[in-house]
Structure 1
């Protein structure tokens, strides 16, 4: 009789654990490469980066201008990461945020992934930290280097949906250093990612 009560307890605990997991999943959400693009965030990123670009030049990149630039850079960072994770095998939303060299590198990586029959699932958790490492002007070109610390859940699967790399249940902390650049004489106010430092 005691054994049956123990089994009932185990079953109840398992049901409670399952319920809590589903509630957390519902509250936190799950964003993977299959959910498509996020045009509203992309438009916000372009808008913020354009506005901050004007303020930086006007205010000589003072504290307030740096703060506002980082707001745009954070949105750009998420836009680029999630666009690379989408499984339409091409960069779309993030393309205006990438210079030609970086775009070609991303595009080549996507083609290679497709050739292997792999697809990515990326859940962008958030950015823990973003700070300007340095900013300098070379001729008419203004470069701003930003250190990012972010958290994502990422994994790559093959055609049979077997995990090739990553872990769909594990949050991974990533450290990136990106360089954004803008020609101050250009009528185009857009900032672009021109380098990813390792």
Structure 2
């Protein structure tokens, strides 16, 4: 992708707007998710307040600001050098705008997972990652379980690693958040988790083929730190 127009972030925001329409009964409420089958980790929630990505409105979580502190690696480090190489191919790439889009994707994926919305998840995940999420959703449905996830705060978003192999770019982001996570059984009993606020650190890796017209950075791996 060339030029200075941030198409990838606009796509994130367009998907966010679609989520508001599709998941109005889910976003901003006490819905949730459970940790997908390994190596998948737990994502986050969503709620309304007016933040923007490049001028397009999106929703952000109640009880916290739009996002936490952004941490971008020094350009002299290996991750920083990889980001520079990515920007040399995709001239619209900018690390802080990427973190804005990554946060939007983080919220959307978690909300869709909690709602069991496979249609929403599919275009945002790689094949292997989607298979893990879909397996976890199916297991939850078969067990008659429901989930509650409440995002209380986003403290930090940090680019932990970056790599460019040919035209394939990988960027790993660390998300530090305060969340409430609970899984309830058929009778409303708590199966896992609690209503206590817990600080979670998740590492998500996004990937994109810079030679392709598709601007989507897909989630290819997740784990908890």
TM-score bucket (shorter structure): 0.5 to 0.7
Structure 1 or 2, whichever has the larger Rg, is 1
Unaligned residue ranges in structure 1 (runs of 5+):
1-29, 49-54
**How much does 1:172 deviate?**
1.5
TM-score between the two structures when normalised by the length of structure 1: 0.67
How far, CA to CA, are the matches of 1:68 and 1:162 in structure 2?
Answer: 41
Indicate whether 1:71 and 2:71 are aligned.
no
The 5 Å alignment of 1:46-125 reads 57-58=86-87, 65-86=94-115, 89-125=116-152
**How much does 1:83 deviate?**
1.6
Matched-pair contact (CA < 8 Å) for 2:89–2:210: no
**Cα deviation per residue 1:113-163 (whole Å; 9 max; x = unaligned)?**
111111101112232111001111012100111111112111111111111
**Cα deviation per residue 1:26-76 (whole Å; 9 max; x = unaligned)?**
xxxx62228xx98xx9xx69x89xxxxxx98555689x8111100000111
Matched-pair contact (CA < 8 Å) for 2:99–2:157: yes
Moved more, 92-101 or 74-83: 92-101
Residues 92 and 151 of structure 1: CA distance in aligned 2, closer, same or farther (over 3 Å): farther
Residue 30 of structure 2 is matched in structure 1 by: 32
3-state SS of 2:141 partner = helix
Q: 2:211 aligns with which of 172, 185, 191?
A: 185
Q: Which has the higher helix share?
A: 1
CA RMSD of aligned residues (A): 3.2
Residue 193 of structure 2 is matched in structure 1 by: 166
Unaligned residue ranges in structure 2 (runs of 5+):
1-27, 33-45, 58-83
How far, CA to CA, are the matches of 2:138 and 2:186 in structure 1?
Answer: 15
TM-score between the two structures when normalised by the length of structure 2: 0.60
How far, CA to CA, are the matches of 2:137 and 2:105 in structure 1?
Answer: 19
- Structure with greater contact order relative to length (CA < 8 Å, sep ≥ 6): 2
Residue 142 of structure 1 is matched in structure 2 by: 169
